[in-house]
Amino acid sequence: MSSINIVFFFTDDQRFDTIAALGNSEIKTPHIDRLVGMGTTFRQAHIPSGTSGAVCMPSRAMLHTGRTLFHLAGEGQSIPATHITLGESLQAAGYRTFGTGKWHNGPAAFARSFSDGDEIFFGGMWDHWNVPACHFDPTGQYNLARNWIANPSASNKATPLITDHLTPGKHSSELFSDASVRFLETYTADAPFFMYISFMAPHDPRSMPEAFLKLYDPDRLTLPANYMDEHPFDLGIRTIRDEVLAPYPRTPALVRRHLAEYYAMITHLDHEIGRVINAVEARGELDRTIFVFAGDNGLAVGQHGLFGKQNHYEHSIRVPLIFAGPGIPKGEQRDTYAYLLDIFPTLCDLVEIAVPSSVEGQSLLPSIRNNAVVHRDSLYFAYTDTMRSVKDGRYKLIECRLATSRSTQLFDLVDDPNELNNLAADPAQAARIASLRDQLAVFRDAWEERQHPMGETFWSHYA
């Protein structure tokens, strides 16, 4: 049995470019920066997008099962027993598994995945200062009645959630880090531990202790280079909840204020991550602990006139991904393409346990060990039944098909990383577009998308 512990920090709605050590000079993230220095960062980590507007739900299901988007059951709302989870695999290898924070994939799957835990949130989003959570249930039933609780962060003011208590007045990031530190301070078993700490931040509502908000003056923040008052054409998402967090048209002052709040939430989150790292160090376990830091999806926050993640621009499909610990090069970065669903087999390889046959992700360990190894050379993205995209080493093709309109976008991500210059109408790009459309079809078939209702709907209207 491996003697290596694993601590996995997972954040909610954190964009790939929100870490100071990776080039964002306007944000303060000293503890995540420490992980960057301790390990290897994948600068081109992605999600495949999602089969619902709640993109984080299938994203998390892919993370925990290693399965591709159209091979999930129920859009990821629950994980069937035939899809072995990361926690199950580690338990079978002798790990004690601890889970805290947001779990958006059904109580039964949580119960299978974790032998320990506390402050478990069986929902998607909530007021950060009044989180309805569950204490760990050793029976694994989590069969409490669904309580209707007023939720000021939801459009409907009462939402059914599985819960057994509220902790009013404590921010979610602190609630989950407190639970994690308690576990570390009291853990006495001989087995190595796997800790999955799933924060609700920096998802809206964007609230945090005032001291962190004071760190950011909106007027001093740089407006995104691809800021727009509104998106130039209909993506079918104009009235989705993420997009109505701010009025139309957007304004520079409004976007800067949202950025200030977004950054402040991340800095507060970073502070709580630091508490957990310090608790691992205080146990004397730092040198035999693998740390993973990742986010469930990106977020526009004013880029391209958008605020959410229901699109295929870089700001919404790219996520942070860091591995640090024994056997992992320090202070290095990788530009090879990766998906979050590759984390499962990577961790299995790092601690030398078998990868379940149900996993479809590909281990990143060869790329971690050797920068010259290309993990993936192209990626596929699908959003509901309206959008499909492919990204190769340089270009990205985005196809959007709505009932009343259709659009094609082609971006050169080397010369135009902010995706402002659509090349699709350039006759010189016709052959490239045809080639990328062929790649779309290859991915469609490999992911068996047409067996899924959303895939069949999109492709029946694509021609």
Domains of the chain with CATH codes: 5-369 (3.40.720.10), 379-460 (3.30.1120.10)
Average pLDDT over residues 64-77: 88
Burial class (CB in 10 A: 0-12, 13-18, 19+), 147: middle
Report H helices in 85-200. Answer: 86-92, 107-113, 172-186
* Residue 118 pLDDT greater than 70, yes or no: yes
pLDDT for res 71: 94
1 pLDDT tier (thresholds 50, 70, 90): low
- Identity of the residue numbered 290: I
pLDDT for res 54: 93
462 pLDDT tier (thresholds 50, 70, 90): confident
- Picking from 4, 15, 5, the residue whose alpha carbon sits closest to that of residue 265 is 15
pLDDT for res 155: 59
> Scanning the structure block, which residue is given the tokens 């057994």?
164
Average pLDDT over residues 214-226: 98
Per the confidence metrics, is the pTM higher than 0.95? Answer: yes
pLDDT for res 419: 98
pLDDT for res 154: 65
Q: Which two tokens stand for residue 403?
A: 């009932």
* Pairing state between β 406-412 and 395-401: antiparallel
In three-state form (DSSP H/G/I as H, E/B as E, the rest C), the secondary structure along 232-297 is CCCCCCCCCHHHHHCCCCCCHHHHHHHHHHHHHHHHHHHHHHHHHHHHHHHCCCHHHEEEEEEECC
pLDDT for res 269: 98
pLDDT for res 372: 96
In sequence order, what are the residues at sequence separation of 6 or more whose Cβ sits closer than 8 angstroms to the Cβ of residue 192? 1, 2, 3, 4, 5, 6, 94, 95, 96, 351
pLDDT for res 2: 78
pLDDT for res 77: 81
Task: Give tens-digit pLDDT for 276-328.
Answer: 999 999 999 999 999 999 999 999 999 999 999 999 999 999 999 999 999 99
pLDDT for res 144: 67
17 pLDDT tier (thresholds 50, 70, 90): very high
Task: Give tens-digit pLDDT for 380-405.
Answer: 999 999 999 999 999 999 999 998 89
How far apart are alpha carbons 463 and 460 in whole angstroms?
7
pLDDT for res 334: 98
Task: Give tens-digit pLDDT for 121-155.
Answer: 999 999 999 999 999 999 988 876 677 787 777 65
* Residue 156 pLDDT greater than 70, yes or no: no
Task: Give tens-digit pLDDT for 167-206.
Answer: 999 999 999 999 999 999 999 999 999 999 999 999 999 9
Average pLDDT over residues 226-247: 96
The mean pLDDT value of the chain amounts to: 95
pLDDT for res 151: 77
**Residue percentage of the chain with pLDDT more than 70:** 98
> Scanning the structure block, which residue is given the tokens 């000293």?
30
How far apart are alpha carbons 233 and 161 in whole angstroms?
37
pLDDT for res 74: 73
Q: Which two tokens stand for residue 173?
A: 């990031």
* Residue 78 pLDDT greater than 90, yes or no: no
